[in-house]
Amino acid sequence: MHFNPYGGVAAELAATLVNALVTADPPLSSDELVATLREHGYRPAGVLDARDMTLLTAWAHRLAGVFAGEGDRVDSLNALLAESATQPYVSRHDGRAPHLHFAREEGPMVDRLRAYTAAGLAHAFCQDPDRLGRCDRAGCGVVYVDTSRNGRRRFCSTRCANRVHVAGHRDRRAG
């Protein structure tokens, strides 16, 4: 599946944020989170202090609800967008091709990251809401953006899928 830059990369970064701060046990530290953001092509400027981490953790919990399909996802996404997006504009920073921004480049990193992930989830949701999901294995809360060709992903990883299928096989053999 082909996503636009916001719907693909930004939605995947939203999943990474949820998995790093909500499902990870323990959640990533601020230094680990900054490194993870960089690994995903996001260019964080500066460091994340304790207040930033608190704000991002609360934000990640709200993003998690969209992936999990909790409540009215459209209302949730609209609330996230209303809270985070300022005035969209086209940017050409760092020698990159023109691209859309939903928060000022010079703004605080937390504000930029919130706007980026909200816009990404909104784009991905509008393209195909079934592509945002949470792992079907009981006890696993990992979220994902399904970029598979057929759009039928149910698990966060092969490992979780194998665990479910092996348990099902054992239950059928025992019964």
DSSP 27-39: PPPHHHHHHHHHH
Give the three-state DSSP class for 49.
coil
Q: What is the pTM of this model?
A: 0.88
How large is the average pLDDT for residues 103-130? 91
Q: What is the pLDDT of residue 175?
A: 75
Residue of 76 and 92 predicted with greater confidence = 76
Q: How far apart are CA 12 and CA 117, in angstroms?
A: 8
Contact by Cβ (8 Å): 23, 37? no
Contact by Cβ (8 Å): 121, 79? no
Residue 84 tokens, joined: 């985070």
**Is 70 exceeded by the pLDDT of residue 1?**
no
pLDDT digits (tens, 9 = 90+) for 111-123: 999 999 999 999 9
Q: What percent of the chain has pLDDT over 90?
A: 71
For residue 80, report the phi and psi dihedrals to the nearest 5 degrees.
Answer: -60, -45
Q: How far apart are CA 130 and CA 80, in angstroms?
A: 19
CATH number of 5-128: 1.10.3300.10
Contact by Cβ (8 Å): 143, 23? yes
| pLDDT confidence band for 144 (50 / 70 / 90) | very high
Q: How far apart are CA 97 and CA 153, in angstroms?
A: 32
Check residue 128 and report its DSSP letter.
-
